[in-house]
Amino acid sequence: MEPPAESSARIGRTHGNTTQQRYDLQNSQMLSKNSGSGRLKKPKEEEDLSNYFDLNDSISYSPTDDFNSFDDLPENFLDTEETPQSNHFKSFSADNIRRNGNSFNNNTNYDKEPRYHRSGLTSSSKSSDLLTDLRHTDSFSQDNDLGTGFDTVSDRRNGLHQATYEIPPQGSSTYVSEINQVRGFDKEPISNVELASSMISTLEGDDSTSTIYDSYDDMPVPRHTQRIIPSRSIVAPPPKIETSEKVHEIRPPRPTYRPLKTVVTVKRDYNNSGYDDTPIRHVNEEVKTEAVQSSYDIEEDEMMIDTAELCRRIAFELKKYKIPQVLFAEKIIGRSQGTLSDLLRNPKPWDQLKTGKSTFKKMFDWVNLNQDDRLSVLGMDGNGNKVSTPRSESLLDPPSPAPNARHSGKTKKYSGEEGPAIKKPRLIFSDVQKRTLQAIFKETERPSKEMQQTIAEHLGLDPSTVSNYFMNARRRSRNTQIQLDSYTDSNDGNPITPPPETPSRRNSNKRSTSNRKKEDELGIGDTPIKTEIDEISEASM
DNA sequence: TATTAGTCAATATA
DNA sequence: TATATTGACTAATA
């Protein structure tokens, strides 16, 4: 079997990259304003304007005559859908120049990356990039094979891509039409979703709604628009939260019987701007049992851990004592760094966990050690230095491998019959592949086997890859929804109002922001955010 | 047999 | 360098 084709790529930032940046900036700005403590980093000056951007699929950009070159486009043109030529943009930017005290030119990130060549369609030009994109997109049409278009190499690490596709010779009809399309913007726009719908309709045998173009020359250039939103409103400083319970250091006796359900939690101490070091267990009043020092004596199905709070606490401890995730992951829970990161950011509620409870139980036991022990089991001292003899055996259960952990011997390798096995390289979806899959997922989270097969053929992917994509997307979409629900619940249904500014709440904020990004990627976003443009429209009605 | 849950680990990103 | 993301593997489950 051959390895999967190299990912195709485009010049310029990836969509995800830009989205991530936007949300992170927005989050950063919100936190900065909200904290009032100066502890959080203020957004960089040149990034301020970015905080006010968001996407809006409903707004299109119509070019004006002064649009002459792709040099004039923002570097993230392909990711956004409106250019500075827009009146909306002008009024908006002027407003924010006043607010931020920054000049427009310095605020935009158009020049953050090297500018692209002006001279026609060079191999590194922005227009070529767009055309390549369209060529790939065009391959949705029934006569083309998407897979054949993927001949470029991506460098996601740098956010830039090196194009290796060929440019049509000047004077050829393809070349001319490409120029016309790039500069003309004279066709109706078509969004990814429309393309996906069209594709799905086609796949389902309904041609009536499909938008298929006979040739590459007929493919319209998508209009990229951009929604501009004001920064999220910042509310009053957080109310002072009183610690309701006195902190007790509880030592065994261990319970002599097993409670039906013991609610074990970790405790916040807002007045102390963080967590109290003393472990606390809150015992369900109905059960009337003594608290326990660890969860050793309680079976998983007899206890209940507030996983979200536990994870916030763990994250806080790791930061506070500069404990690397990889160290904690391996020594305490016996999992990989990436798994820990994911668990901390997206903890599933205890009652929705199946075999994963044991991992949280280990975290819980660690967090309930006293401070010295917490560090010593990691082989660290209070200064973040390594010490030689970790005391783990007597304090915690040794981390056990995950039951479904992959072993090196079992790892599927990509190799021929003879010689040492070579690990199958990890597939990185091309931008087009990813966007297409996302768009289709937005339409249908559970495409039929046949549809997956067709999608795979169109995108030049293995059917199992397509299947994996949808399974992962469904799962991660569900997890995101769980996080959003818990966040909304804890906020009285107002997801925009920032919560009290505590370390734990900061984590919540971060996750929420991250979730917005996930929503964006997965296409499961909630209600649209009202923009300045929307407000202007409403006011004029 | 297909799907889900838990996870790894390569890779991207901060 | 540390953390976040994500395609794919494995075992459990429907």
Q: Nearest nt to A411, CA vs C1'? A: C9
What confidence score (pLDDT) does residue A220 get?
31
- pLDDT on residue A296: 61
Beta bridge partners of A423: A413
CA to C1' distance (Å), from A357 to B6: 10
| Per-residue confidence band for A330, with pLDDT thresholds at 50, 70 and 90 | very high
* Residue A273 domain flag: no
- Per-residue pLDDT tens digits for A55-86: 333 333 333 333 233 333 333 333 333 333 33
Domain count, chain A: 2
Residue A75 CA and nucleotide B13 C1' are separated, in Å, by 19
More reliable by pLDDT, A119 or A269: A269
How crowded is the C-beta side of A60, counted as CA atoms within 13 Å?
A: 13
Instruction: State how far the Cα of A129 lies from the Cα of A114, in Å rounded to an integer.
Output: 15
Give the phi and the psi of residue A57 in degrees, each rounded to 5: -65, -15
- State the nearest residue by CA to the C1' of B6: A356
Are A195 and A15 contacting, i.e. CB atoms less than 8 angstroms apart?
A: no
A341: in domain: yes
Is residue A443 one of the residues assigned to a domain? Answer: yes
For the segment A367-393, the average pLDDT, to the nearest whole number, is: 79
Protein A503 CA to nucleic acid B13 C1', in Å? Answer: 23
pLDDT mean over A101-121: 29
> Would you say residue A72 lies in a domain?
no
Rounded to an integer, the average pLDDT of A490-496 is 43
Q: What angle do CA A525, A485, A19 make, to 5 degrees?
A: 35
Query: What is the Cα A33 distance to its own chain's centre?
Result: 23
Mean pLDDT of chain A: 53
Mean pLDDT, rounded, for A194-220: 45
Answer positive or negative: Cα dihedral of A454, A459, A461, A464: negative
Please give the nucleotide, over all strands, whose C1' is closest to the CA of residue A452.
Answer: B2
Q: CA–C1' distance A84–C8 (Å)?
A: 42
Task: Dig out the tokens for A269 from the structure.
Answer: 């101490």
Q: Is the pLDDT of residue A324 over 80?
A: yes
Structural domain boundaries, residue A331: 307-378
> The dihedral of CA A24, A25, A31, A34: what is its sign?
negative
- Percentage of chain A modeled with pLDDT above 90: 22
The pLDDT of residue A169 is above 60: no
Interatomic CA–C1' length for residue A446 and nucleotide B1, angstroms: 17
Return the half-sphere exposure (C-beta side, CA atoms, 13 A cut-off) of residue A518.
Answer: 21
Find out whether A146 and A137 touch, Cβ atoms under 8 Å: no
What would the two tokens of residue A216 be?
């590459």
Q: Which residue is nearest to nucleotide B13 (CA to C1')?
A: A157
Reported residue count of chain A is: 541
Q: How confident is the model at residue A39 (pLDDT cuts 50, 70, 90)?
A: very low
Q: Render pLDDT for A525-535 as a digit per residue (tens, 0 to 9).
A: 443 333 332 33
Q: How far in angstroms lies nucleotide B5's C1' from the CA of residue A379?
A: 32
CA A465, A466, A471, A477: dihedral to nearest 10 degrees? 120
pLDDT confidence tier of residue A194, bands split at 50, 70 and 90: low
| CATH number of A341's domain | 1.10.260.40
Closest nucleotide to the alpha carbon of A476, via C1': C6
**pLDDT at position A392:** 53
What number of CA atoms fall less than 13 Å from residue A365's CA on the CB side?
23
Does the structure show a pLDDT above 90 at A318? yes
Distance A477 CA to C2 C1' (A): 26
Which parts of the protein come within 7 Å of strand C, by CB position? A 4, 16, 318-319, 324-326, 337-339, 341-342, 344-345, 354-355, 403-404, 406, 410-412, 424, 426-429, 434, 462, 464-465, 468-469, 471-472, 476, 514, 517-518, 521
Q: Which of A363, A378, A393 lies at the terminal end of a domain, its last residue?
A: A378
Q: A120-124, A333-337, A401-405: which range is least confident on average? A: A120-124
Q: Looking at strand B, which nucleotides approach a protein CB closer than 7 A?
A: 2-14
Residue A466 CA, nucleotide C12 C1', distance (Å): 22
Q: Give strand letter and number of the nucleotide nearest A337 (CA to C1').
A: C3
Give the integer Cα–Cα distance in Å for A381 and A199.
59
Positions in chain C where some atom is under 7 Å from a protein CB: 1-13
By C-alpha to C1' distance, C2 is nearest to A324
Cβ neighbours for A455, distance < 8 A, ≥ 6 positions apart: A199, A203, A436, A437, A440, A447, A461, A466
Task: Please tell me the predicted confidence (pLDDT) of residue A459.
Answer: 94
Does residue A471 have a pLDDT over 60?
Answer: yes
Cα of A286 vs its chain's centroid, Å: 40
Exposed (0-12), middle (13-18) or buried (19+): which is A280, by Cβ within 10 Å?
buried
pLDDT tier at A396 (50, 70, 90 boundaries)? confident
Q: What is the pLDDT of residues A282-295, one digit of tens each?
A: 333 333 334 445 56
Distance A441 CA to B2 C1' (A): 19
**Tokens standing for residue A333:** 């829970």
Nucleotide nearest A414 (Cα, C1'):
C8
Residue partners of A7: CB distance under 8 A and separation at least 6? A150, A152, A153, A154, A427, A428, A429, A430, A433
Rounded CA separation A375/A250 (Å): 19
- Gyration radius from chain A CA atoms: 27
- Residue at A342 is within a domain: yes
Measuring CA to CA, how many Å separate A231 from each of A21, A160, A178, A385?
15, 28, 38, 41
Joined tokens for residue A386: 């390594």
Residue A92 pLDDT exceeds 60: no
Pairing of strands A227-228, A160-162: unpaired
Nucleotide minimizing C1' to CA distance for residue A429: C7
Lowest mean pLDDT among A63-72, A353-362, A363-372: A63-72
Q: Residue for token digits 């011997």?
A: A409
- Per-residue pLDDT band for A210 (boundaries 50, 70, 90) equals very low
The verdict on residue A319 lying in a domain is yes
Specify the CATH number for the domain of residue A438.
Answer: 1.10.10.60
Residue nearest to nucleotide B8 (CA to C1'): A406
- Which residue has its C-alpha nearest to nucleotide C10's C1'? A404
Domain boundary among A457, A487, A517: A487
| A361 is a domain residue | yes
A126 or A120: which carries more pLDDT confidence? A126
CA of A403 to C1' of C1 (A): 30
DSSP-assigned letter for residue A380: B
pLDDT at A524: 45
Give the mean model confidence (pLDDT) for residues A225-242: 26
* Residue A406 lies inside a defined structural domain of this protein: no
